[in-house]
Structure 1
Amino acid sequence: MPNQSPAALRVAVVEDQPLFRSMLERTLGEQPGLQVVASVGTVAAARNVITPGLANVVVLDIDLPDGNGIALGVQLRRSQPSLGILLLSAHDAMELLLDLPADVAVGWGYLSKTSATTVEALVGALHAAARGETVLDPALLAKMRPRRGSAVAALTDRQFEVLQLLAQGLSNSGIGERLGIAEKSVQNHVNAIYNTLGIDSDPERNPRVSAALRLIEETGPLA
């Protein structure tokens, strides 16, 4: 692995398919500012290797040969509260994030193995998870529409677009660049989204995480 600066984001990989695990390890290890510090294929190995302080974020396959990746993530987070977690799955399993225990719900992301095809999306999701944000798969989000009668359905088209980008882990400045609007306009849209969804400014809860989870809860795939 290339030498990394002390400030590099330290990543652990838990993936049972050897070829895919090797590809992840190699791809992430080549990215500036990232360091792969562990790469294992089972729940048992992860419990032994991913000790407190080893990693900033862990990439977890959901289906592992000796257990469930989500249960492993919950266990890791309870022993390492600042650890970010990025779930990878061959299936659309975003709704599983809604069932996470409240004490560990912050700092989880989800990408589909079949649609998360860019290194940029993967690296961005890792950084966002390490910051304690919830990041959702862009390709899956593009297929989702608000459920009739939900609070998300009350958003304007532009607000819904902003919410989707927020849920992808983009900052306000990043959203502004993507949509070609001023950052102040993005903040106005975000404030309106929080108001419509009834998301308060409780310092104990990350409003961006709450908004992303509401997006999962109140949307469904296109018919």
Structure 2
Amino acid sequence: MRLIIADDSALLREGLIGLVERQGHNVLASAEDAPGLIDAVRAAVTEGVTPDVVIADVRMPPGMAADGLDAAVRLRDEYPNLGIMILSQYVAPAYASRFLGRATGGFGYLLKDRVAKVGDFLRSLSVVAAGGIVIDPEVASQLARARSGPLDSLTPREREVLALMAEGLSNTQIAEQLHLSAGAVSKYVAAVFLKLGLPVGEENRRVRAVLTYLTANG
């Protein structure tokens, strides 16, 4: 993967660079503030090397508010196929909702504590690069706490499977976590698609199912 990493903490920024480079990924550039992030992505694209994923902190200079998130939203508007992985110290479902409301994939929102689980973090990057969605379980729980509407028809097990889909897990990984057979998980996933009105042939059914789950609260 080709990555650009932005975080105002030099320790975390360099740690992330070292982590992904040890896995054979290419860090095109890094930035310590939101304007630097935008400039780095634009420069890479101008040189003909579009990053697969941008990793950005929510709060960065110059404003130390949601500058990193604002920069990521701006970049996604300019480059619709750009994968975005947002890292945050805060659950803040409203931050994730700014991307989820756009009904598109290639997005992740993880709490920084999750980076310590290296295998899970790298898997999440791969999901985002492939156009999928990964939402931190704590954030997903708050977003969908008052599940309603299209999710009412789902059984508890189907909701459980859909929640794990929202974490970016594949059918095989869901089967391992729930101690189910691969065939059983496939049936639950198919039932979810059917009940959410996502028939065979629907483009990006998995992404659309996750978006429905996460935005059920409006």
**How high is the TM-score relative to the length of structure 2?**
0.82
Does the C-alpha gap of structure 1 residues 121 and 147 become closer, same or farther in structure 2, counting only changes over 3 Å? same
Q: Give the equivalent residue in structure 2 for 1:49.
A: 40
Mapped to 1, the partners of 2:147 and 2:31 lie a distance apart of 43
Q: 1:87 touches 1:109 (CA, 8 Å); kept in 2?
A: yes
Give the corresponding residue for 1:6: none
Please report how far the alpha carbon of residue 189 of structure 1 lies from its aligned counterpart in structure 2 after TM superposition: 0.8
State which of 53, 57, 63 in structure 2 corresponds to 1:61: 57
| 2:93–2:143 CA contact under 8 A, matched in 1 | no
Structure 1 residue 78: Cα displacement: 3.2
Number of matched pairs: 210
Q: 1: distance between equivalents of 2:204 and 2:152?
A: 22
Shift of the alpha carbon at 1:36? 2.0
Q: Assess, with a 3 A threshold, how the Cα gap between structure 1 residues 104 and 37 changes in structure 2: closer, same or farther.
A: farther
| Correspondence 1:108-123 to 2 at 5 A | 108-123=107-122
- Per-residue deviation at 1:140? 4.4
What displacement does 1:138 show? 3.3
Rounded to whole Å, the distance in 1 between the matches of 2:138 and 2:101 is: 27
* 2:25 counterpart of 1:34: yes
Change (3 A) 1:104 1:192: closer
- Determine the structure 2 residue equivalent to 1:22: 14
Q: How far does residue 66 in structure 1 lie from its aligned partner after superposition?
A: 2.6
Kept in 1: contact 2:56–2:86 (CA 8 A): yes
Please say if 1:129 is aligned against 2:128.
yes
Please give the alpha-carbon distance, in whole angstroms, between the structure 2 residues aligned to 1:149 and 1:81: 30
How far off is 1:169 after superposition?
A: 1.0
SS at match of 1:77: helix
Equivalent positions of 1:1-223 (< 5 A) are 9-31=1-23, 33-50=24-41, 51-52=44-45, 53-66=49-62, 68-100=67-99, 105-141=104-140, 146-147=145-146, 149-200=148-199, 203=202, 205-218=203-216
Deviation at 1:14, TM superposition (A): 0.9
Identity %: 31
Alpha carbons 1:146, 1:153 under 8 Å: kept: no
Matched-pair contact (CA < 8 Å) for 1:81–1:104: no
Of Structure 1 and Structure 2, the greater helix share is in 2
Query: 1:182, CA displacement in angstroms?
Result: 2.8
1:39, CA displacement in angstroms? 1.4
Q: Mark the runs of 5 or more structure 2 residues left unpaired by the alignment.
A: none
Task: Give the CA RMSD over aligned residues.
Answer: 2.8
8 Å contact from structure 1 (residues 167, 208) kept in 2: no
Q: Which stretches in structure 1 are left out of the alignment for 5+ residues?
A: 1-8
CA distance in 2 between counterparts of 1:77 and 1:135 reads: 16
Distance in structure 2 (CA, Å) of the matches to 1:35 and 1:136: 24
Sort the Cα spacing of 1:148 and 1:168 in 2 relative to 1 into closer, same or farther, 3 A: closer
Larger mean Cα displacement after TM superposition, 184-193 or 126-135: 184-193
Contact kept? 1:42, 1:65, Cα under 8 Å: yes
